[in-house]
Amino acid sequence: MEIFIHAIEHYVKRSGKDNRLTVLHLAHAIELAIKASLLRHNQSIYENEKYTVTARDGLKRLKRHWQISRDAEVPMRARIELLIDERNTLQHRYGDIDLITLDYHMETAFHFMAEVLDRDYNTNIHDLMRDKLSQDIASNFPFITYSRSSLMENIIKLSATEPTNAFIKLFRFFETTLDIYIGPRLGEDLEYSSFDLLIRFLDKIPEQEAISQNEISNFYWVRGKISKHGEGIIDESTVIDFVDSIGSTMDAMATHPDKLNEAIKESVQAMMRGTLMINEEDE
């Protein structure tokens, strides 16, 4: 867990060197967590007398001891393999990690560590992180659950000095909230496009209750631009406008669960047919 906390401390700094160190620490933390879980199940962590089990093989063993069904996988397995590959690439050549990719890997590690803590130690990762992280680090780490109002206040404060980071924090919080709303309704092994789903949902509710379709398009457009160009894409006033619009959209999802269910069903069907209303990759 100490290595994971070091990764978080680098993650919140959002700089080139710290981004690379974040990925290195995340991969190491996951490897150690896999081995710790195997040992807790009284299983050997060695392939042979000289080498310990790799992350990939360790996940296969973990699947058995977590009693995961044959047709399912250890949570985040495929994404963990991407993280390990990213770490290996960084170790063999100099490279940079963009902020969107960094968030993706942190989300992977956070959810996997949450599984390990919950399954093997009966510990909630949010409670543990709030206890282990300093207030300064915790307030800039978007994966810990806080009340929406307090998080939005922190985002608005941050936008005065770091509007790009404030926007990324808002976007991550919004997508995490979508997962909370949508996950129980979606079922396992079904994919959806958050952008496509939102466009369909907004089309079903009164316009004044949530962000407009043009605004949500701009919200995702800004995310794409930041991932490509970094700083200088957004200013404080725009972040504050998005905070208000995103807040009203979250309220609308809670108010219209029937419309949200319809949008989820349509978006999943569109994903399966390959007929999304707009391709996010072209944003």
Phi, psi of 46 (to 5 degrees): -105, 140
Helices (H) and strands (E) in the chain, counts: 13, 0
Output the pLDDT for position 275: 56
Lowest mean pLDDT among 90-94, 249-253, 262-266: 90-94
pTM for the complete prediction? 0.57
Is 200:277 a contact under the CB 8 Å cutoff?
yes
Output the pLDDT for position 192: 67
pLDDT tens, position by position, 205-262: 988 787 788 888 888 888 888 877 666 678 899 899 888 888 888 888 888 888 988 8
Is 43:122 a contact under the CB 8 Å cutoff?
no
Output the pLDDT for position 84: 93
Is 98:16 a contact under the CB 8 Å cutoff?
no
pLDDT above 60 (res 136)? yes
pLDDT above 90 (res 30)? yes
Kindly report the average pLDDT of the chain as a whole number.
83
Output the pLDDT for position 281: 42
- pLDDT-derived band at 282, boundaries 50, 70, 90: very low
pLDDT above 60 (res 277)? no
pLDDT tens, position by position, 108-130: 999 999 999 998 898 988 888 88
Output the pLDDT for position 190: 58
Is 185:261 a contact under the CB 8 Å cutoff?
yes
Output the pLDDT for position 174: 85
CA gap 139, 153 in Å, rounded? 11
Query: How many CB atoms are located within 10 Å of the residue 5 CB?
Result: 16
